Structures are given as C-alpha cells and as structure tokens.
Amino acid sequence: MEKLTKIAACLAGLVILIAVATGCHEREQAKVGETEYLEEITIKQLQQGYREGKFTVAQVVNDYLTRIEELDKNGPVLNSIIAINPEAIRIAQELDSELAAGKSRGPLHGIPVILKDNIESKDSMPTTAGAVVLKNSYVWRDSHVAKKLREAGAVIIAKANLSEWANFRASLSSSGWSGVGGQTRNPYDTERNPCGSSSGSGVAVAANLCAFAIGTETNGSIVCPSNNNGIVGLKPTVGLISRTGIIPISFTQDTPGPMARTVEDVAVCLGIMVGVDSTDAKTLNPDAVFYSDYSKFLKRDGLKGKRIGLLTNVSGFHFKVDTLMKQSVDAMKQAGAEVVAIDFPVSREVDNASFEVLLYEFKDGLNRYFASLGESARVKNISELIKFNLNDSVELMYFDQQLLEMAQSKGDLNSPEYKKNLEMMQTGMRKQGIDRIMNEYKLDALVAPTGSPAWKTDLVDGDHFLGGSSSYAAIAGYPSISVPMGFIDGLPVNISFIGKAWSEAELLSIAYSYEQATHQRKKPMLE
C-alpha cells in the first residue's frame, strides 16, 4: 500500500509538472461568440447568474479562458496574459459544489480575477515581475492579497503581463514590455501603449478577459493603465492593503489595488482585501480606517455639497484633454459640487526626494525578496541580477538597466541621505502639500486629468508621456481613483479624484456619483 501511495503521489506530481509546463487545463472549447454574455458583466450580475442557475462558475471561468485564448493570444494579440492558471477549472468546480450545497464565501464567490505577475499565488504559475531571472520562480505560497481573494471565493485564472520590475529598471522603457511576456498592446488600438506597470491588468479588464484584476502602484502604475484602457482603478492609501508577497519597489509608496470596469466593482473588491497584516508594518498604522464593505458608500448624489479642488496646473499638455476636463467640471457642478480652481504643482525638490527614496528602498526590498526565495533563487541580490542581465539574450535587447545600477550604488536604509529624502518627500507632499491645501480650501477631494490618450508603442525611444497627475497621491502615499472621462479620437482618457489618507470611502462616493452622471466607459471593439 505504501508503495502504491508513493507511485500515486509521483504520478500526481508529474501531472502538475506537465500542466505547468504546457499551461493546459481541462475545459470545454468554446467560441468567442458564445462568450458575449461576459462583455461588461459586473460582479453583481455574475452573482445573480449563479443564484438563478443561468451559468456555473466553471462555465464562466471556461469562457473567460476562451476569450483569453482567442482575443489575447490570437485575434488582436493583446498579449496581456503572461500565464494561465492550470488549476482554474478545478477551483471553479469546487466553488460550484459549495454553491450547490448552499454555501457562499461572499460577494466574490466564483468571480474570476487576474493578478499582476509581481503578486505571488500558490497556484501552478511562476511569479516573475516579467524578469527572465524569475521566469521559473514557483513560490508555492500565497501573497496576503491572493489569500484574501481566495478565502472570499475569487478564482485566480491567470497572471497579467507588466512592465518589467514594475517599470523600475531602465533609463527609458516601453510600458507593458517585459523580458518574459514581451509587449502588451492597447485594446483600443493595438499599435498604441497600455501604460504601466499594471499594463496587462488594465488591458485584461478593458477587453473583458476577467471580471476584475489586481494591479500595483508605486507612482502611476494603476491609474495610468486605467486611463489608457478606459477602466476604473483605485490606488489606496499605503497600508490599507498588505504588500506581503508582492515583489517590491518601495516600502513607502507601493500598494496593490483593484482595477475593474465600474466603481461599484472596485468598491466590492476593495472591502475584501483591506485589513491588518502583522507582516506588513504599514497596515499597523493606528490611524488606519478599514471597512469590510465600501459599496455602502456609493451614492448617486455623492457629489452633492462637495467642494472639489481643480488642479489647474495639471493642464495644457493636450488641448483635447482640457476640453474634456471642462465638460467634467460642468458635470460635477450640475451634480451639486462646488469646484474650486487651485494651482498646486509638485515641487522639484519633493519629486527628486521621492526618486532617491525609491532607489534606496528598491535595493533593500529586492535583496530581501531574493533572500525569501531561499535556495531556489537564481540570483541572491541586485548586484547578481545586474550581472545576470548582462549575459541574457533578451533583457538588454531594447533597454538598459540604469535604475538597477543606480539602486545598487546606494547604501542601506540607515543612510542619512535616505532619511533626509524620506522626511522631505513626506512633509512636502503630506503636511505642507495635500493636507495643507485641502484644509486651507476646505476640500473633500482634488481632481485632475489622469493622463493623455495612449501614445504609439515605441521600442526605440520608449514611452511618450505628455502629462498626468499620479505623483500627488503616489508620493504622499494617499488614495486616488481614476474613472473614465471620455474619448479622444477613439482613445479613452480618465479623470482622477485624490484625497487625504484613509479617505477611500469619500473618494468612492464622489467617483461613483461622477460615473453615474457621465457614463463614459465604452468597451473596445475587438475583432
């Protein structure tokens, strides 16, 4: 019997290895035309469909995987997915069994989600950050975010491509490019860029390849792909959601966040992921405000009586964006808000201090991450990573690794220079920045365009950013939410609402009211 048990275990292991190697999964083959019911479907509608027996979790997961196969890898070749979860159908079937037994884990039971591939999950998929050095890094552990989602019944169906190392590697880059996954493409125009670093997450949501996705942001990496792909993205206050199990850039600025097609879906997802984690000190802040249900704050009249500060200095980079902002301001006023014009630029000193902090913290965080991989790590520190890349045929094909080299040259986190810059950036963007401005003008939120229409992808000269507003919330570690604002020549652009620390409930209320007053989300026309 013992011998048979060992043989069975070996065979099971072989099956897992084959599944991992081939990305295979037992599922029915379907056509994209048969999956149209998933286009723009919401979490609430999926849950209702399960209750009424219109479809099963396994069917929904199967059909999302069909859409990935036909629209992401074939068809327009969006290339937003870096790995498929070979266990997704099995997990879906287990969740169907729970529903049949009258059990539900909550509002995300049976809801398919895609994780950015710098977020660990114990499914049979590597966690790579898009880097060749990690392309076979199977961690067999869940990040805190993945654990929370899994406990709530969400089905992790895939990992999303991203800008390699979350876009903190080179002197210039093409957002959405990684050594492992190649170039992600914009679903509204595949010659244009999806923005990054949560590029694959943004594209997957926009193209209806999942119900929602999880991205991460250090500065712009949730809100910019939300802008370029016409979806809703929330960058929370740093510490609202744990970063444990996420490949880091910055202890001070990093945060995961939900990306979806509606504000309501973002709110539902947010409540599942928030909370204290003893392994992430930022979540232990005594001032933190956590809610298990953010959807209760969504009100159509959420703009009524609000004072909104319009950042007039975040303008002029594109006249058509300025036109849409004027229309948005009018819509907010019609919804009962008072809009106050404010000139509040990000100072060069604060911006430079933030960059220095990122370099120090990237070195420290990445070295710690490699150490957490134990003997399986191909490199032990950032110095070995730099050497690895020099000898790789893909990594330096288009872009250099200047930021890696700059980070390696820094000292540790006890450095006086690090501490001075940390204090400068936080005081400048918090106490003397957002807090001061909002208190002085008695504001409920700040507002600005998220960015410009998507630029053409360029592997020679890199990204062509025209302007944006992500640095305010990013450097402060405060929340912002990006919502569809309209289209310019067929390309989406978004508006961002920014608030004080722990003001997610207020921002969601404002964003929902704006969304319901304007209804600017439109799906891409994929063929």
Q: What is the DSSP string of 450-519?
A: -BPSPPBP-TTT------B-HHHHHHHT--EEEEEEEEETTEEEEEEEE-STT-HHHHHHHHHHHHHHH-
Enter the tokens of residue 447: 């507002």
Going by C-alpha positions, the residue among 462, 364, 454, 452 that lies closest to residue 415 is: 364
In which order are the strands placed within the sheet that holds 338-342? 81-84, 155-160, 112-116, 212-217, 255-260, 232-235, 480-488, 491-498, 445-449, 307-311, 338-342
Task: Specify the pLDDT at position 76.
Answer: 87
Cα separation, 221 vs 202, in Å, equals 10
Task: Specify the pLDDT at position 33.
Answer: 76
CA angle 268–102–213, rounded 5-degree value? 25
The three-class DSSP label of residue 177 is strand
10 Å Cβ neighbour count for 305? 10
**Active-site residue among 137, 163, 197, 226?**
197
Strand partners, 308: 339, 445
pTM, full prediction? 0.94
pLDDT tens-digit readout, 484-523: 999 999 999 999 999 999 999 999 999 999 999 999 999 9
Q: Report, as an integer, the average pLDDT of 376-404.
A: 97
Distance from CA of residue 443 to its chain's centroid?
A: 27
- As a whole-number percent, the residues of the chain with pLDDT over 70 amount to 94
Q: With helix as H, strand as E and coil as C, how does 55-93 read?
A: CCHHHHHHHHHHHHHHHHHCCCCCCCEEEECCCHHHHHH
pLDDT tens-digit readout, 59-116: 999 999 999 999 999 888 999 999 999 999 999 999 999 999 999 999 999 999 999 9
What confidence category does residue 6 fall into, taking pLDDT thresholds of 50, 70 and 90?
very low
Task: Specify the pLDDT at position 82.
Answer: 98
- As a whole-number percent, the residues of the chain with pLDDT over 90 amount to 92
* Confidence check: pLDDT of 374 > 50: yes
Helices (H), 27-177: 43-52, 57-67, 88-100, 144-151, 164-167
Residue type (1 letter), 503: S
pLDDT tens-digit readout, 156-201: 999 999 999 999 999 999 999 999 999 999 999 999 999 999 999 9
Task: Specify the pLDDT at position 14.
Answer: 34
CATH 3.40.50.1370 fits 27-518, yes or no: no
Task: Specify the pLDDT at position 12.
Answer: 35
Task: Specify the pLDDT at position 26.
Answer: 58
Q: Report, as an integer, the average pLDDT of 125-149.
A: 97
End-to-end CA distance of the chain: give it in Å, rounded.
Answer: 55
Task: Specify the pLDDT at position 4.
Answer: 34
Q: With helix as H, strand as E and coil as C, how does 314-363 read?
A: CCCCCHHHHHHHHHHHHHHHHCCCEEEEECCCCCHHHHHHHHHHHHHHHH
Task: Respond yes or no: is residue 278 known to be catalytic.
Answer: no
Task: Respond yes or no: is residue 197 known to be catalytic.
Answer: yes
Task: Respond yes or no: is residue 116 known to be catalytic.
Answer: yes
Beta-sheet pairing, 177-178 with 182-183? antiparallel
Strand partners, 183: 177
Task: Match 């891409």 to its residue by tokens.
Answer: 524
Cα separation, 250 vs 252, in Å, equals 5
Beta-sheet pairing, 491-498 with 445-449? antiparallel
Q: In the chain, what are the domain boundaries?
A: 27-518
**Active-site residue among 137, 163, 175, 221?**
221
Mean pLDDT lowest for which of 13-22, 68-77, 385-394, 460-469? 13-22
Task: Specify the pLDDT at position 487.
Answer: 98
Q: Report, as an integer, the average pLDDT of 20-47.
A: 76
Going by C-alpha positions, the residue among 202, 87, 209 that lies closest to residue 156 is: 87
- CA quadruple 447, 457, 489, 199: dihedral sign: negative
Distance from CA of residue 108 to its chain's centroid?
A: 18
Enter the tokens of residue 442: 């008695």
Task: Specify the pLDDT at position 9.
Answer: 35
Average pLDDT, the chain: 94
The three-class DSSP label of residue 368 is helix
10 Å Cβ neighbour count for 333? 13
Enter the tokens of residue 364: 């420290």
Task: Specify the pLDDT at position 27.
Answer: 61
pLDDT tens-digit readout, 401-432: 999 999 999 999 999 999 999 999 999 999 99
CA angle 417–422–424, rounded 5-degree value? 95
